[in-house]
């Protein structure tokens, strides 16, 4: 009876504790313009090429499976498992304008 209880408890309860959250929470699909690193097997992660998502390609389930990436030298088609999305928010140049004037412009330069 003790073994039966242990078996049922370990299968039902312990497996819930080891469940991976990344499969339970929805993940954002790749969007055009996302900045990514292209994972390569034969080189270190510091040398992975940088690229921008040109066109994501969705599978039958509506989730992006493959993306066409624009790198410095060419367009590359990669599976989503070989892409690392960088947490960079792209902004327009309008939001990057600097204010003119202020204390720095009023200082005397000798």
pLDDT > 50? residue 42: yes
Residue at 78 is within a domain: yes
Residue 78, domain CATH = 2.30.30.30
Within a 10 A sphere around the Cβ of 54, how many other Cβ atoms?
15
- The predicted pLDDT at position 109 comes to 47
The pLDDT of residue 95: 47
Q: What is the pTM of this model?
A: 0.58
* pLDDT at position 45: 79
Examine residue 19 and state whether it is found in any structural domain, yes or no: no
- With pLDDT > 70 as the criterion, what percentage of the chain qualifies? 70
Q: Is 4 inside any structural domain?
A: no
pLDDT at 27 over 90: no
The confidence score (pLDDT) of residue 8 equals 80
Q: For residue 75, what are the domain limits?
A: 30-88
What are the tens digits of pLDDT across the range 50-98? 999 999 999 888 888 999 999 999 999 999 989 988 887 655 544 445 4
Say if 44 falls within a structural domain: yes
Number of domains in the chain: 1
- Residues of the chain with pLDDT > 90: what percent? 31
At residue 35 the predicted structure's pLDDT band, cuts being 50, 70 and 90, is very high
Per the domain annotation, does 93 fall within a domain? Answer: no
**Residue 37, domain member (yes or no):** yes
Q: Is residue 59 part of a domain?
A: yes
Q: What is the DSSP string of the chain?
A: -HHHHHHHHIIIIIHHHT--GGGTS--PPP-TT-EEEE--SSS-GGGPPEEEEEEEEE-TTSSEEEEEEE-SS-EEEEEGGGEEE-------GGGGPPPP-SHHHHS---
């Amino acid at each position: 009876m003790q073994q039966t209880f242990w078996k049922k408890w370990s299968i039902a309860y312990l497996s819930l504790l080891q469940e991976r959250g990344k499969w339970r929470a929805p993940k954002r699909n790749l969007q055009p313009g996302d900045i990514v690193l292209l994972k390569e097997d034969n080189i270190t992660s510091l040398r992975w090429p940088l690229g921008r998502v040109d066109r994501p390609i969705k599978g039958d389930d509506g989730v992006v499976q493959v993306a066409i990436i624009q790198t410095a030298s060419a367009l590359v088609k990669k599976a989503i498992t070989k892409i690392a999305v960088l947490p960079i928010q792209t902004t327009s140049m309008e939001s990057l304008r600097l204010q003119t004037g202020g204390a720095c412009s009023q200082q005397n330069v000798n």
